[in-house]
Structure 1
Amino acid sequence: MPPRPLVFITGASSGIGQALALRYHRDGYRLALVARRTADIQAWAQAGGLGADDFRIYGADVSRPDDIVAAGAACIAEQGVPHVVIANAGISVGMDTAERSDLDVMAQTFATNNLGMAATFHPFIASMVQRGSGTLVGIGSVAGIRGLPGHGAYCASKAATISYCESLRGELRASGVRVVTICPGYIDTPLTRQNRYAMPFLMQPGDFADKAHAAIAAGASYRVIPWQMGVVAKLLRALPNAWFDRLLAGRPRKHRRGAAEGGAGRG
């Protein structure tokens, strides 16, 4: 009897990552779960009644390429080559370019959200190509579609995520390996609860996970969830710059580091 399919998920200790892990578990997948806070994953798995054969935990800081590459190699050695890899881990912290310390915030954001994503995919690509199948999922954000004041690091990193996944999709098109970009809107996680502005179409993590799972299974190349935020993002993208700037004038900004910390999840 062949082993159950395997999904590898980063940022699995809370929020979207945890919701996706539960959704894939319910679908019969074995789980390879990655986070810095491994104790949180262990507690969640025990509370949910997951058996020893259902999951493995890999401790890694995705902003350190050697960490996440080692976690991927350990997954292959212990559980095999995943069928689905979801690069979900990310941080979202406000920034002010006039502040020197916020340049470090931007560097950390790109190290986690962008380099970390590429390093997450890296260990699996050769084996997936050799097998002729597999799905690499990049978690972007609607914030990557248009820049928001005070969100320079996060918006730029998610715009880069969308472009990176598009490039990778083209590179792997003939290999049988799919690349899926999922762009969440506002999801109700500990991270978004810190926001100081309205969050239209706020979605529960479980509902998001259901829709993301369906999009990934269908092999969608790009999906905004919920769809209403996709409409809003397209409308904002179509606005002339002067109108867009006027619309966002006076909008509260995301907390900078020190006022509130970003974590794994969507902002």
Structure 2
Amino acid sequence: MIDFLTELDTDILLAINGFRLKALDQFMFLLSSKLVWVPLYVVALVLVIRLYGWRSGLLIAAGAGLAVCLADQACSSLIRPLVERMRPSNPLNPVSSMVQLVNGYHGGRYGFPSCHAANTVAVALFLSMVFRYCRMIVLTLAVWVLLNCYSRMYLGVHYPGDIVAGALVGLLAGLIAYRVTFAAVSFIMHKKPEPLSGCEIRVKCGEGVSVVPDSALFMLTGLFTVVVLFAVSVAGYYC
């Protein structure tokens, strides 16, 4: 059974890694980077503070950091040293001879579970519960997770099994962080943290007032980031 699952895991990885367009290589490489998503993080922070107030908002932002810390440490410091499953891109792994790399990127030695999957899922679940009244934000976070997880397999640095295991760790970490954070906010603020307003921002437009949904602002920031990365990558390939 284990051999069958291992073979299936490898077959799916090679299918994803092998089905590619060279023009998208850099795009997938950039998607996998943490720094390119800074604008999305900043917008999320602004919206959290606006919806919950600056005191509760900063505590909730710290809770998102806690979710990442729990997920990352559980994967990198606890599970990986115990399992020691080599990445498909690891030169010591026989599968590496069939894996196509981008920019010579191998990743670390071990890849089970995926820290990228764990971290993104942890943050996405945490923020999805924070913005539970804003469906477009939840949808944007789901797409963000899928893009990140797919890019890791496209780059050949994680098996699908690594991604699934990392996602499960992230779900648990995000849930724990959310419970701890909101209990702490309730204790410190002496009240249950609830959004101070709906999912909209009122913007002055001439003599009138235009309403811009928070969800749209968050979604457009994510979409703009993806479009810019795609344009830069394709232009760099053809130019």
Q: Provide TM-score, normalisation by structure 2.
A: 0.30
Q: Which has the higher strand share?
A: 1
Structure with higher helix content: 2
TM-score, normalised by the number of residues in structure 1: 0.27
Query: Which one scores higher on RCO, CA 8 angstroms, separation ≥ 6?
Result: 2
